[in-house]
Amino acid sequence: MGHRGDNANSLYRSNSFSSLGPGRSQLQSFRSVHFNAQQRRFDLLCRTCQYSFRVDEHGWLEHLYWGVRLQPDDDLDFLRHTNISLPFDPIPEKAETFKPHIFVVSDILKRQSRDSNRNTWKAATMMQRHHYNEEASRLENACWRLLAMKQRRLLREREMAEGEGPQMNTTAFIPMTEDERALLFEEAVAKLMNDIADTRLKAASAKKDAWEVREPGAVKQQGEEQTSMSRIPPGLERVGRNTKLLEFSDYGTGDYRIPSFRVMYADGSHISPMLYKTHRVMLGVVPMGCGMPIVGDEFSVQTDAATLIVTLADPFTDLEVDLHYTVYEDFDIIVRRTVIRNKAPRGAGGVTVLKLASATVDFESDAYHFLHLPGEWAAERQVTVQPIVEGYRGVDSRRGTSSHQHNPFAVIARGDTPPEEDRGEVYGFALMYSGNHRIEVEKTETGRVRLNIGINPDHFSWSLASGGSLESPECIMAYSSDGLTYMSQQLHKLIRTHVIPQEFRGNWVCPILLNTWEAFYFQQTHDNIMQIAKEAKEIGVELLVVDDGWFGRRDDEYTSLGDWDVDFRKLPKGLKALVDEVNGLGLKFGIWVEPEMISVQSKLYEAKPEWALGQAGKSRSEGRNQLVLDFTRKDVRDYIYRKLEAILMSANIEYVKWDCNRHLTEVYSRQLSPAKQGEVFHRYVLGVYEVFRMLRARFPHVIIENCAGGGGRFDVAMLKYSPQIWCSDNTDALSRIRIQYGTSLAYPISAIGSHVSTVPNHQTFRHTPLKTRFVVALCGTFGYELDLTKEISAVEKEQLKAMNRLRTRLAPIIFQGDFYRLWNPFDSSSSVAAWMFVTPDRLKALVFAFISFKKSPGRYLPRLRLRGLDPDEKYTVSELVPTTIRRITSVQFAEDPHRPVYQFGKPTIEISGKALLNCGLPIKLEFDGDSCLFEITAHTHIASTQVVLPPGGASSPVLNKRKSRDGPGTTLLALLEEQEIPRSVSSRAVV
Cis peptide before 840 (omega within 30 of 0): no
Q: Which of residues 561-620 bind ligand DGJ (CB under 6 A)?
A: 592
Whether residue 657 contacts residue 707, with contact meaning beta carbons closer than 8 Å, is answered with yes
Among 547, 798, 928, 966, binds ligand DGJ (CB under 6 A): 547
Q: In the complex, what is the shortest distance from the CB of residue 496 to ligand DGJ, in angstroms, rounded to a whole number?
A: 24
Whichever of 564 and 592 has its CB closer to ligand DGJ, that residue is 592
Q: Which helix (H) or strand (E) holds 311?
A: strand 306-313
966 is catalytic: no
Length of the chain measured in residues: 991
Whichever of 43 and 548 has its CB closer to ligand DGJ, that residue is 548
Whichever of 762 and 906 has its CB closer to ligand DGJ, that residue is 762
Q: In the complex, what is the shortest distance from the CB of residue 662 to ligand DGJ, in angstroms, rounded to a whole number?
A: 10
Whether residue 910 contacts residue 875, with contact meaning beta carbons closer than 8 Å, is answered with yes
Among all residues, whose Cβ is closest to ligand DGJ? 548
Q: In the complex, what is the shortest distance from the CB of residue 661 to ligand DGJ, in angstroms, rounded to a whole number?
A: 5
Among 293, 418, 483, 709, binds ligand DGJ (CB under 6 A): 709
6 is catalytic: no
Q: Which stretch binds ligand DGJ (CB under 6 A): 281-289, 599-607, 705-713, 766-774?
A: 705-713
Whichever of 594 and 930 has its CB closer to ligand DGJ, that residue is 594
Q: What type of residue is 718? A: M
Q: In the complex, what is the shortest distance from the CB of residue 335 to ligand DGJ, in angstroms, rounded to a whole number?
A: 30
Residue 623: C-alpha distances to residues 165, 407, 467, 626, 978 (Å):
73, 21, 39, 5, 48
Whichever of 559 and 970 has its CB closer to ligand DGJ, that residue is 559
Among 261, 517, 714, 848, binds ligand DGJ (CB under 6 A): 517
Q: What phi and psi values does residue 339 have, to the nearest 5 degrees?
A: -125, 130
Q: Which stretch binds ligand DGJ (CB under 6 A): 98-106, 707-715, 865-873, 974-982?
A: 707-715
Q: In the complex, what is the shortest distance from the CB of residue 449 to ligand DGJ, in angstroms, rounded to a whole number?
A: 37
Q: What type of residue is 453? A: I
Whichever of 592 and 850 has its CB closer to ligand DGJ, that residue is 592
Whichever of 42 and 592 has its CB closer to ligand DGJ, that residue is 592
Give one word for 880, left, alpha or beta, with left for phi > 0 and alpha for psi -120 to 50: alpha
Q: Which stretch binds ligand DGJ (CB under 6 A): 233-241, 461-469, 479-487, 703-711?
A: 703-711
Whichever of 294 and 378 has its CB closer to ligand DGJ, that residue is 378
Q: Which of residues 357-386 bind ligand DGJ (CB under 6 A)?
A: none
- The span from the CA of 962 to the CA of 13, in Å, is 61
Q: Which stretch binds ligand DGJ (CB under 6 A): 399-407, 491-499, 608-616, 704-712?
A: 704-712
x/- letters, 622..661, toward ligand DGJ (CB under 6 A):
-------------------------------------x-x
Q: Which of residues 216-255 bind ligand DGJ (CB under 6 A)?
A: none
- Pick from 629, 632, 611: which is nearest to 683 by CA? 632
Among 707, 778, 836, 846, binds ligand DGJ (CB under 6 A): 707
Q: Which stretch binds ligand DGJ (CB under 6 A): 298-306, 307-315, 486-494, 702-710?
A: 702-710
The single residue of 659, 818, 928, 966 carrying the catalytic annotation is 659
State yes or no: residue 401 binds ligand DGJ (CB under 6 A). Answer: no
- The span from the CA of 74 to the CA of 255, in Å, is 29
x/- letters, 461..500, toward ligand DGJ (CB under 6 A):
----------------------------------------
Number of residues that bind ligand DGJ (CB under 6 A): 11
Q: Which stretch binds ligand DGJ (CB under 6 A): 209-217, 270-278, 313-321, 706-714?
A: 706-714
- The span from the CA of 929 to the CA of 849, in Å, is 10
DSSP state letters, 59-122: S-EEEEEEEE---TT--GGGGGGG----TT----SSTT----S---EEETTTS--HHHHHHHHH
Q: In the complex, what is the shortest distance from the CB of residue 726 to ligand DGJ, in angstroms, rounded to a whole number?
A: 5
H helix runs in 944-989, sequence order: 957-961, 983-986
Our CA dihedral for 604, 607, 613, 616, rounded to 10 degrees, sits at 160
- The span from the CA of 667 to the CA of 612, in Å, is 10
Residue 800: C-alpha distances to residues 433, 590, 608, 808, 953 (Å):
38, 21, 47, 12, 15
Annotate 233-250 with b (16+ C-beta within 10 A) or e (fewer): eeebeebbbbbbbbbbbb
State yes or no: residue 548 binds ligand DGJ (CB under 6 A). Answer: yes
Q: In the complex, what is the shortest distance from the CB of residue 124 to ligand DGJ, in angstroms, rounded to a whole number?
A: 35
x/- letters, 655..674, toward ligand DGJ (CB under 6 A):
----x-x-------------
Q: In the complex, what is the shortest distance from the CB of residue 370 to ligand DGJ, in angstroms, rounded to a whole number?
A: 29
- The span from the CA of 459 to the CA of 753, in Å, is 32
H helix runs in 461-612, sequence order: 484-498, 517-520, 526-539, 574-584, 603-607
3-state secondary structure 518-555: HHHCCCCCHHHHHHHHHHHHHHCCCEEEECCCCECCCC
The DSSP bridge partners found for residue 275 are 313
Whether residue 730 contacts residue 712, with contact meaning beta carbons closer than 8 Å, is answered with no
Give the count of beta carbons closer than 10 Å to the beta carbon of residue 719: 24
Contacts of 600-605 with C-beta under 8 Å, sequence gap 24+, read 600/625, 600/626, 600/627, 601/553, 601/558, 601/559, 601/560, 602/552, 602/559, 602/560, 602/561, 602/562, 602/563, 603/552, 603/562, 603/563, 604/562, 604/563, 605/562
Distance of CA 845 to the CA centre of its chain: 25
State yes or no: residue 774 binds ligand DGJ (CB under 6 A). Answer: no
Whichever of 710 and 967 has its CB closer to ligand DGJ, that residue is 710
Q: What phi and psi values does residue 635 have, to the nearest 5 degrees?
A: -60, -35
List Cβ neighbours of 303 (8 Å cut-off, separation of 6 or more): 200, 204, 283, 284
Q: In the complex, what is the shortest distance from the CB of residue 464 to ligand DGJ, in angstroms, rounded to a whole number?
A: 38
Q: In the complex, what is the shortest distance from the CB of residue 687 to ligand DGJ, in angstroms, rounded to a whole number?
A: 21
Q: In the complex, what is the shortest distance from the CB of residue 720 to ligand DGJ, in angstroms, rounded to a whole number?
A: 20
Q: In the complex, what is the shortest distance from the CB of residue 383 to ligand DGJ, in angstroms, rounded to a whole number?
A: 22
Q: Which helix (H) or strand (E) holds 593?
A: strand 588-593
Whichever of 101 and 624 has its CB closer to ligand DGJ, that residue is 624
x/- letters, 724..743, toward ligand DGJ (CB under 6 A):
--x--x--------------
State yes or no: residue 722 binds ligand DGJ (CB under 6 A). Answer: no
Gyration radius of the chain's alpha carbons: 30
Q: What type of residue is 199? A: T
x/- letters, 424..453, toward ligand DGJ (CB under 6 A):
------------------------------
The single residue of 89, 729, 818, 930 carrying the catalytic annotation is 729
Residues of this chain that interact with ligand DGJ (CB under 6 A) are 517, 547-548, 592, 659, 661, 707, 709-710, 726, 729
* Residues noted as catalytic: 659, 729
